[in-house]
Amino acid sequence: MDRQTAKKKIDDLHKRLNQYNYEYHVLDKPSVPDTEYDQLLKELLKLEGDFPEWILPDSPTQRVGGQVLDMFNKVRHESPMLSLGNAFNESDLRDFDRKVRQAVGDRFSYVCELKIDGLAVSLKYENGIFIQGSTRGDGTVGEDITANLKTIRSIPLRLQEPISLEVRGEAFMPKHSFTRLNAMKEENGEEPFANPRNAAAGSLRQLDPKIAASRHLDIFLYTIANMGEMNLASHSEGLNWLDQLGFKTNKERKSCATIEDVITFIDGWVERRPHLPYEIDGIVIKVDSLDQQNELGTTAKSPRWAIAYKFPAEEVMTTLLDIELNVGRTGVITPTAVLSPVKVAGTTVARASLHNEDLIREKDIRIGDQVVIKKAGDIIPEVVNVLIDSRTGEEKEFNMPTHCPECESELVRIEGEVALRCINPKCPAQIREGLIHFVSRNAMNIDGLGEKVVSQLFAEKLIQDVAGLYKLTREQLLALERMGEKSVTNLLSAIESSKGNSLEKLLFGLGIRHVGAKAARTLAQEFEHIDRLVDATREELTSINEIGEKMADSVVTFFEQEEVCDLLQELKDVGVNLAYTGIKPVVSEQSDSLFFGKTIVLTGKLAQLSRNEAKEKIESLGGKVSGSVSKKTNLVIAGEDAGSKLKKAEELGISVWNEERLVEELSK
């Protein structure tokens, strides 16, 4: 067969197999037997083997899993993947509805969708071809899992139209796939997955895509992150458009005119939930109009135009066998209930936090009690109450100790707090927990340094403080159990890479009391280098918006410690970045920037700047970059081939600049 004939045959097989795949995995309406599909796929594999120059990214053969990866690359999301606020009862829903009405009036509607219990992912397409898929990560930076996502057959590798866009959805493991997978694990003597959500997340984070392919995952797309030039008016229109492009969306959605309609929809699914072929843990409620979504805006963490109603937690009874004590990184002593293992909301629970001594006294919890437990938000196990009538008289009261269970230092209760605390700065438990916090995702985000590895390094006395992480050698790591050449290489690479993190990551990782991730960013942006922050006075700190007296006192006290000064010097010596490298926000309301306080839309192709570069520069000058044109838009930047957004801006009389004008203003 000559090359051109082979090309024609391959194109025909592509078209037919992609259509059959769409009918089977998206429409759930197969038009040919599996044997015929398999025979055609085998024929395509043979042709591509003979003519490898005709293997295309959207070929059905690319779904079977490619080469094993060494590690996942990081992906920065162009627009953040925000999490949703939660509602747990009717009162929360009505409060959400009241806030929406206060902002946009009474003329609006909601769209209700099932909240799929899986892993949030983002998919990017260029000219209709799937080019990249990533995890949510921390909302700003995720991991590139393109190879694994290609194995999900309901994800189209080529769209029905040659357009560029980014969409987001929930990858999940159907109940039948979960049952089959756990049966295989048990046969092989392996630990089964606790629930389909964990199984889906674990499958998509396999370095070998063939493993992900064998797990038979699925996906529902639920939003368009970047809709390019599409002039859509509503979220529901967007979902219908995704259907037309060949994506799989969840059809169990409904438009609701009032909050009463929303509550009726939720009540119906509380009963029907167990009969679905996949797990859901709630209902997502969104304002339908995109203009009204834009008007409502977002907080730092979640959109104001959407909320997730979480189903009531399942409650079960079990026996409280013992109460253990854990020492946290700030020295707080937390009692933990050791339970007779029991299934709750799909997972086996054997432990639950009791928070503090006051809670134990308030609920009269005793060792040996029959207790009712649930998972708060379907995630965190907690003891709801004790079954007093079931007591036999053999139950034992529990008393908190007077000394730290790790270092034997005397415990104290600080005035105004309910927790007992170990205040020994050299307490081994606090040091270990501090190290675990330092390497965590929202702090220095060092891949491969999980809780077990950090605890192992600490137990072997290879690290005593965070600076020690940067002094680890290949020889030391190779001598540890379960540490091979590849894992050691990856770990050292991740540690080296973390040296370049911006200052806010380090500040949060240091575990300064009362300083969370948001406050760490605020301090890093304000002082720009840790040396300036070390010298800051309480007055300077409290003059910053969002920094109160308690936090200011904590920061000053932290940096006054001689041990902290020595640690910072060690971090400098090993090359850890101590400066803020992110965008410096505009702090003066009298900014003379033309972008300050303005809502700006970018459309069309930019030649001199990438879309992300333009967005960052505008935001650094106090502007807000939006994805859609509305009456609240102040300015539209139109590049080449600008489409519907430019047209809408002209209809609304909004100012329009070309790229040359944008670059000129940015350079001032």
Mean pLDDT value of segment 596-605: 85
Decide which of 381, 412, 443 is a domain's last residue. Answer: 412
Tell me how many degrees the CA angle 131-133-137 measures, rounded to the nearest 5. 150
Asked if residue 588 is part of any domain, the answer here is no
Q: Do 526 and 389 sit in the same domain of this protein? A: no
Q: What is the pLDDT of residue 592?
A: 66
Q: What is the pLDDT of residue 378?
A: 56
17 touches 63 (CB < 8 A): no
Asked if residue 215 and residue 144 are part of one domain, the reply reads yes
CATH number at residue 208: 3.30.470.30
Is residue 533 over pLDDT 70?
yes
Residue 239 confidence (pLDDT) above 90: yes
Q: How many residues are given for the chain? A: 668
Domain assignment present for residue 627? The answer is yes
Pair (274, 306) in one structural domain:
yes
Average the pLDDT over 512-516 and give the result: 88
Q: In the prediction, which pLDDT does 386 show? A: 94
Pick the last residue of a domain from 412, 442, 461.
Answer: 412
Maximal CA-CA distance, the chain: 88
Same-domain pairing of 295 and 329: no
The overall average pLDDT reported for the chain is 87
Tens of pLDDT along 371-422?
999 876 556 788 999 999 999 999 999 999 999 999 999 999 877 777 888 9
- Domain enclosing residue 222, as ranges: 85-310
Lowest mean pLDDT, pick from 173-177, 227-231, 643-647: 227-231
> Stretch 342-350: mean pLDDT, rounded?
82
* Domain assignment of residue 125, yes or no: yes
Q: How far is the C-alpha of 4 from the C-alpha of 227, rounded, in Å?
A: 36
pLDDT at 33: 76
Q: Given this model, what pLDDT does residue 45 score?
A: 80
Q: Is the pLDDT of residue 611 over 80?
A: no
Residues 297 and 321 in one domain: no
Mean pLDDT of 483-493: 91
- The answer to whether 311 and 86 have CB atoms below 8 angstroms apart is no
Residue 180 has pLDDT above 70, yes or no: yes
pLDDT attached to residue 587: 47
- Cα-atom radius of gyration of the chain, to the nearest Å? 28
* Active-site annotation holder among 115, 374, 375, 648: 115
Question: What is the band of 351 on the pLDDT scale with cuts at 50, 70, 90?
Answer: very high
Domain co-membership, 26 together with 55: yes
What average pLDDT does the segment 59-74 reach? 68
Query: For 11-65, what is each residue's pLDDT tens digit?
Result: 888 788 878 877 776 776 777 776 787 788 888 888 777 777 777 777 777 766 5
Which pLDDT tens digit goes with each residue over 418-455? Answer: 788 898 878 999 999 999 999 998 899 998 888 889 99
Judgement on whether residues 229 and 376 belong to the same structural domain of the protein: no
8 A C-beta contact, residue 385 and residue 360: no
Residue 378 maps to a domain:
yes
When divided into structural domains, the chain yields a total of 5
Same domain, yes or no: 160 and 173: yes
Q: Contact 313/378 with Cβ under 8 angstroms?
A: yes
Q: 381 in a domain, yes or no?
A: yes
CATH value at residue 319: 2.40.50.140
CA separation for the pair 284, 630 (Å, rounded): 25
- For residues 645-654, give the mean pLDDT: 86
With a cut of 80, say whether residue 123 has pLDDT above it. Answer: yes
Residue 613 lies in a domain: yes
pLDDT of amino acid 379: 64
- Rounded Cα distance, 27 and 84, in Å: 29
We report the CATH number of the domain holding residue 650 as 3.40.50.10190
Mean pLDDT, residues 337-344: 92
The answer on 163 and 230 residing in a single domain is yes
Q: Is residue 51 part of a domain?
A: yes
Torsion of CA 645, 647, 653, 659, to 10 degrees: 60
Q: Are residues 347 and 438 in the same domain?
A: no
Percent of the chain with pLDDT over 90: 47
Q: Do 436 and 406 share a domain, yes or no?
A: no
Give percent above pLDDT 70 in the chain.
Answer: 95
Write down the pLDDT at residue 196. 87
Q: Which of 307, 311, 317, 316 is nearest to 377 (CA)?
A: 311
Active-site annotation holds for 550: no
- Interatomic CA distance for residues 10 and 32, integer angstroms: 19
Q: Quick check: 590 pLDDT over 50?
A: no
pLDDT tens readout for residues 142-156: 899 999 999 999 999
| Lowest-confidence region among 71-85, 327-341, 547-561, 585-599 | 585-599
The residue-averaged pLDDT of 471-490 equals 90
DSSP bridge pairs for 123? 133, 167
First CA to last CA distance, the chain: 62
> Which CATH number covers residue 558?
1.10.150.20
* 232 shares its domain with 304: yes
Query: Quick one: pLDDT at residue 254?
Result: 96
Q: Report the alpha-carbon angle 26-142-618, nearest 5.
A: 105
Structural domain contains residue 594: no
